[in-house]
Structure 1
Amino acid sequence: MNRDIKFGRLLAIANILSEKVFEEGKQSVVQKYMSRYSQKPAKTFQKIHEELLEYAPKFGPDEMVLLDMFGEILANMDESEFTNEPLTEKYLHAFHSQQHRLSNLIGVEEAAKILGLSPGTVKNKCAAGELPAKKIGKTWVLDKTMITKKEGEY
């Protein structure tokens, strides 16, 4: 995976995370850092990461999945890639693609509310392959566009 794509994905994850944990009225990561991110990606990402970690006490299972995604991308980055060399426009495509995918991801609790089921039942249906879900670490995530509340059909 190209360096620009990695940085674009990191920004998308950070933005979704900020939308979940920042208090109402506070600028999201993209609103605050987008203009400098492409010019100094490593330095800007470090600032974003520090700011997000201030909200760690608010992190639930959904936010921990996003942190795991951060870790996965960073683990696959060479130290030589994590620099302030400006990004090309490729990072924007990766950002928007990842942002779109992540904005539709929900955890078991939210899926349970949508489906009118208990969280335990949703987990069981995920494990049995009855619901379209992916397990990230110990947490099931679902695409909310793929689930609807229909009698016996998901």
Structure 2
Amino acid sequence: MYSRTLLLALLTAIHCEAFVVPQSMSRPALALREAEDDEDGTEMNPDNPNLPALKGDFDWDEKFGGDDDWITENVPGKVVLGELELAEQSKALAALESNWRKEREIKEFEESRKTGWTGLAELANGRFAMFFLVTGLLTELWTGVSIPGQVEEMLRIGGFIGFD
């Protein structure tokens, strides 16, 4: 019973697969493809098949300049600046650049410091303290000499305190 149902489902899937539209093509893209094959012969944009292909440097103002709704003056992306305004902008940008460069140099200097009151020095000091505390405890376990006794013995061997 189950094998017959499975076989029927498999045959149906194989049979219907020939009529499935590929996932890469949506319905609008298929409609545009069909329209492209029509007699007008316009090429479609390969990056966006919903738009016609543009050749060369396209001047939209020239094409739509006569349209009442088309704006050709005071467009934010097309503002023409005079020499004084350009000089002021370049001066302000240079000031911003120097400020950001100084901040970056200070940050890099602080991150590169290994001594003093820095995070890297504190991290190293903490690790050294943990290492030598464990070393002192293990030495006390093996030799029976306490940590203050070990410090005293090191100071005597180093000659910092007398041999009594």
The alignment's TM-score, normalised by the length of structure 1, stands at 0.20
Q: Could you say which structure has the greater relative contact order, defined with CA pairs below 8 angstroms and 6 or more residues apart?
A: 1
Greater C-alpha radius of gyration: 2
Higher strand share: 1
TM-score normalised by the chain length of structure 2:
0.19
